[in-house]
Copies of this chain bind each other. A is one copy, B any other.
Amino acid sequence: MLFTISEMQTKLRQHIEKIIPLTDEEFAVVFSHFSFRKVKKHQFLIQEGDSVNHSYFVVSGLLKLSYTDANDKEHILHFAMEDWWVSDYKAYFTKAKATMSLDCLEDANVFCLSLDDHNKLCGSLPKMEHFFLTKSHYGYIASQQRILSLLTTSAKERYEQLLIQYPSLIQRVNKTLLASYLGVSRETLSRLSS
C-alpha cells in the first residue's frame, strides 16, 4: 500500500480530530512539529541503549516494542499498527537511555515528534495537551487491562482474547512473536492453537 504525503497528513489530522476539532491553520501548526520517516522491515527505530528522541505515530505498517531480558529472551510490550502511538516512553520522557527496542515488522510510514516539539506544540496550542492527555489516559487504561489479563487468565484465554480483539494480528505476525506477546513459549502457543 502506497500513500502520498498528503494522504498521510490527512490520516494524522483525522486521528487527532477524533478527539479535538482543528481549523486548517491549527492543523498546519500541529503538522509543522512533526517530521516524517519511512521504515523498512527489520529496521530499528529504537535500540536498547539509544537516546530516544521521538515518539512515533504509525500511519501504516507494523512495528513491535519489545524488551530483551538477561537470558536473551524477547518480551513484547505491544505491537503498533496504523493509528498507534509508540515509543519507549520511559526513556523518551525522562531523557534516559532506551531499555526497550522498537523495530519494524512490515514496511511502515511514521510521523516523528521530538519531546521538544511536543512541548512547544502543547505550549502554542493548549488543545493538543488535551489531546495527548486523552491518549495517555487510554494508554494507561489499556495497560491496566493487560496487567489484569496477565494476573487473571491462562495462556489459552489470553490467546482467545487476542483473536477476538485483534484478529488481523494473527495473520500478520508469526507465532513466535505472538507467543512472546502473550507471555508463553512458542511451543505452548503452538499446542494451544491446534
A residues near B (Cβ < 8 Å) are 67, 69, 73, 75, 77, 89-90, 93, 122, 126, 129-130, 132-133, 136-137, 139-141, 143-148, 150-152, 183
Contact = CB atoms under 8 A, between A and B. Distances in A.
Contacts of A146: 143, 147
Interface hub of A69, A130, A139, A151 (most chain B Cβ within 10 A): A151
Contacts of A183: 150-151
Q: How many copies does the complex hold?
A: 2
A140 B88 CA distance: 11
Contact of A144 (B73, B89, B148, B150): B89
Contacts of A145: 90
Nearest to A75: B151
Contacts of A77: 144, 147-148
B151 A90 contact: no
29 contacts: A67-B148, A67-B152, A69-B152, A75-B151, A77-B144, A77-B147, A77-B148, A89-B137, A89-B140, A89-B141, A89-B144, A90-B141, A90-B144, A93-B141, A126-B126, A126-B129, A129-B130, A129-B133, A133-B133, A136-B137, A136-B140, A139-B140, A140-B140, A140-B143, A143-B143, A143-B147, A150-B151, A150-B183, A151-B183
A100 to B, nearest CB: 9
